[in-house]
Amino acid sequence: MTCVPRTSVVRSLKVNIVGFGSAVFVGDLVDFSPVNYVFAVQREIPVFYGDEGQLSAYPIYSAPLPKARQEPAVQMDVTNTSPVICAGDVRVIAISSASMVQLGSVRSIRAEARVKNIRQLLRGLPPK
């Protein structure tokens, strides 16, 4: 499918937070491939050994992503009755972790977020 460029007209766009491998696009886009790797360690007692964060030690970061099922090709004709994409007032609170807000056309999106959370909590009595 071919994306015919169109003009994006937005009355107002308010985005509070755009974080970690994310983006805001107004207009046409061909391909978007954000990637976000997160390694988070939460410790009840803040001790840092200096060798944390070796992502190769965790298979979540190197495991192949599942492939989407390939649907048979579909012949399609699209007729846009207007060369303009109109949006009124758009309000977004937050965009994060390999995501996007798109006001326009996009041909391909391949987003990837891999998160490893480790919580190391004390056992037994809390420290004095």
Q: How far apart are CA 128 and CA 126, in angstroms?
A: 7
What are the structure tokens assigned to 77, written together?
A: 């004709």
For 1-28, write each residue's pLDDT tens digit. Answer: 455 677 889 999 999 999 988 999 998 8
Residue of 37, 23, 40, 106 whose CA lies nearest to 65: 37
Mean pLDDT of 98-113: 89
Residue with structure tokens 């937070």? Answer: 17
How many CB atoms are closer than 10 A to CB 95?
19
55 torsion bin: left (phi>0), alpha (psi -120 to 50), beta (else): alpha
Least confident of 17-26, 76-85, 103-112: 76-85
Residue of 82, 120, 112 whose CA lies nearest to 22: 112
Query: If pLDDT is split at 50, 70 and 90, which confidence band does 81 have?
Result: confident
Q: What is the pLDDT of residue 128?
A: 63
